[in-house]
Amino acid sequence: DKEQQKMEKEDIQPEKLCPTICVTQISGVGSVKIADILAKRIGYRVVDRQILEHITHEIKLSDITTDFFDKRYPGKMNEYLSHLFNETSFPDNDYNRHLFATIRAIAGLGPTIFIGWGTHLVLPREHVMAVRFVCSKGYRVKRLATILNVEEQEIERKLEDFNLKQSYFYKKVYHLEKASTQEFDLVINCDYIKDPQWAAEIVEENFRKKFSIRTG
């Protein structure tokens, strides 16, 4: 009957993602600390580079997608990936499919703040608050040298190495030379917004306004 058809149609609709915060950072800016503060304020969890890397490399994709998504939305993950690669210029290969499906799966499991990996380029943009934290090289070097208690010259070498790896990743996965400011809802310069608490409050305020989320 019509009611049964309606229920079946609703059952196979793509899952509704929670509003997601995607953070892109210049290495050493302190975005993890800001994200941790923000997560506690809004009741989200943080998925950073290390966590996503572990999941991407160590956990079979089927453990995430098949068990959780395919039972609820048969075929929707493959449909999403096909749509994603058809609509963008991302290279269609096994690594990208694995990475993008993992990002999508994690986002679907609950309210999430992603750090790194260009997740704002993968997830449906209408569900995303894309934030970029920037600062000068001098700020990053001094900050990390103080935290790690090492010479600034050593920090400079490590940052240069990390920046090269990050640049290579974005070129390989997204065919992008660098992040454009037009990709983001919000860009915060931590040379001037130095207090992580203040930065977190700025993101929270704009996040709540964008998705009409009430405080408390």
Q: Could you report the per-residue pLDDT of 142-175, keeping only the tens digit for each?
A: 999 998 898 998 889 888 888 888 888 888 888 8
- Residue 188: other Cβ atoms inside 10 A: 23
Q: Which of 48-52, 74-78, 90-94, 165-169 has the lowest mean pLDDT?
A: 74-78
Cα–Cα distance measured from residue 187 to residue 196, given in angstroms and rounded to the nearest whole number: 14
What is the pLDDT averaged over residues 64-84?
Answer: 59
Look up residue 23 and give its amino acid.
V
d(CA 73, CA 143): 46
With 90 as the cut, is the pLDDT of residue 100 above it?
A: no
102, with CB counted inside 10 A (0-12, 13-18, 19+), is: buried
